[in-house]
Chains A and B, each alone.
Chain A
Amino acid sequence: MTWIWANLDLIWDRTLDHVVLSVPAIVLSFIIALPIGWLAHRYRASRGVILTVVGLLYAIPSLPLFIILPIIVGTSTRSPLNLVIALTLYGVALMVRVVADGLASVDLDVRQSASAVGFSTWTEFWQVELPLSGPVLLAGLRVVAVSTVSLATVGAVIGVQSLGSLFTDGFQRGIQAEIIAGIVATVVLALVFDALLVYAGRLLMPWTRSRAATTVTDNAAGSVSTAATPASENRSREIAR
Chain B
Amino acid sequence: MNFFAEALQWLVDPANYVGLNAIPLRLAQHLGFTVVTLVIASAIAIPLGFLIGHTGRGRSVAVASAGAFRAIPTLGLLTLVALSIGIGLNAPYIALTVLAVPPILAGAYTGFEAIDRRTIDAARAVGMSEVQIVRQVEVPLGLPLLIGGLRSAALQVVATATLAAYVADFGLGRYLFAGLKTRDYAEMLGGSILVILMALALEGLFALTQRFVVPRGVLAGRPTDIRTRSSRPRPVMESAIEEGQKNVHSK
Whether A and B touch directly in their complex, counting CB atoms under 8 A apart, is answered as yes
A residues contacting B by CB (< 8 A) are 41-42, 44, 47, 55-56, 58-65, 67-68, 71, 77, 104, 108, 111-112, 115-116, 118-121, 124, 143, 146-147, 149-151, 153-154, 156-158, 163-164, 166-168, 170-171, 174, 176, 179-180, 182-183, 186-187, 190-191
Chain A positions within 8 Å of B200 at CB level: 56, 59-60
In the complex, what distance in Å separates the CA atom of A35 from the CA atom of B77?
A: 36
What size tier do the contact residues of chain B reach?
35 or more
B229–A44 CB distance below 8 A: yes
B73 close to A (CB within 8 Å): yes
Q: Which residues of B contact A64 (CB under 8 A)?
A: 162, 176, 191-193, 195-196
**Chain A residues in 8 Å Cβ range of B139:** none
Q: Is the CB of A157 within 8 A of B73?
A: no
B66 to chain A, nearest CB (A): 11
Q: Which of A61, A156, A158, A166 has the most CB of B within 10 A?
A: A61
B63 to chain A, nearest CB (A): 12
Known: A171-B79, A182-B73. 16 other contacts (CB 8 A): A55-B207, A67-B189, A108-B230, A146-B70, A149-B71, A150-B70, A150-B74, A153-B74, A154-B74, A167-B78, A168-B79, A171-B83, A176-B80, A179-B79, A183-B77, A191-B71
Main SS at interface, chain A = helix
Q: What's the Cα separation between A150 and B225 when bound, in Å?
A: 35
Of all chain A residues, the one with the shortest Cβ separation from B70 is A146
When distances are taken between beta carbons in the complex, the residues of chain B under 8 Å from A170 are 79, 83
> Which chain A residues border B8 with CB–CB below 8 Å?
none
Contact A44 B228 (CB under 8 A): yes
Q: Mark B47-79, 1 if CB is under 8 A from A, else 0.
A: 000000000000000000001101111111111
Closest beta carbon of chain B to A113's beta carbon, Å? 11
Binding site for A on B (CB under 8 A): 3-4, 67-68, 70-80, 82-84, 155, 158-159, 162-163, 166-167, 173, 176-177, 179-180, 185, 188-189, 191-193, 195-196, 199-200, 202-203, 207, 227-232, 234-237
Query: Complex: how many Å from CA A219 to CA B40?
Result: 53
Task: Quote the shortest CB–CB distance from B179 to chain A (angstroms).
Answer: 8
In the bound complex, do residue A179 and residue B80 qualify as a contact, i.e. CB atoms below 8 Å apart? yes
Contact of A157 among B75, B84, B203, B231 (CB under 8 A): B75
27 contacts between A and B (CB under 8 A): A42-B231, A44-B228, A59-B199, A60-B199, A60-B200, A61-B155, A63-B159, A64-B162, A65-B196, A68-B193, A71-B3, A77-B180, A115-B236, A116-B237, A124-B235, A146-B70, A150-B71, A153-B73, A153-B74, A153-B75, A164-B76, A167-B73, A167-B79, A171-B82, A176-B83, A183-B72, A183-B77
Among residues of B, the one whose C-beta sits closest to the C-beta of A52 is: B207
Inter-chain contact B80/A183, CB cutoff 8 Å:
yes
A143 to B230, CA, bound (A): 30
Interchain residue pairs A-B with the least CB separation, the first 5: A61-B159, A64-B192, A171-B79, A190-B71, A59-B203
**B23 → chain A, closest Cβ, in Å?**
15
> Chain B nearest CB: distance from A187 CB in Å?
5
Whether A187 contacts B71 in the complex (CB less than 8 A), given A47-B228, A71-B4, comes out as yes
A111 in contact with B83 (CB, 8 Å): no
Given contacts A61-B159, A153-B75, A167-B73, contact A187 B235 (CB under 8 A): no
Q: Which residues of B contact A157 (CB under 8 A)?
A: 75, 163, 166, 177, 180
Report the bound CA distance from A114 to B195 in whole Å.
48
- Inter-chain contacts of A111 with B (CB < 8 A): 231-232, 235
Given contacts A60-B199, A183-B77, contact A176 B228 (CB under 8 A): no
Smallest Cβ distance from B156 to chain A, in angstroms?
9
Q: Cβ of B228 and Cβ of A174 under 8 Å apart?
A: no
CA distance A105 to B240 in the complex (A): 30
Chain A residues, CB < 8 A from B155: 58-59, 61
Residue in A closest to B76 when the chains form the complex, CB atoms: A183
Q: Are A71 and B189 within 8 A (Cβ)? A: yes
A47 to B225, CA, bound (A): 13
Which residues from chain B contact A146 at a C-beta distance below 8 Å?
67, 70-71
Task: Determine how close the nearest CB of chain A comes to the CB of B162; give it in whole angstroms.
Answer: 5
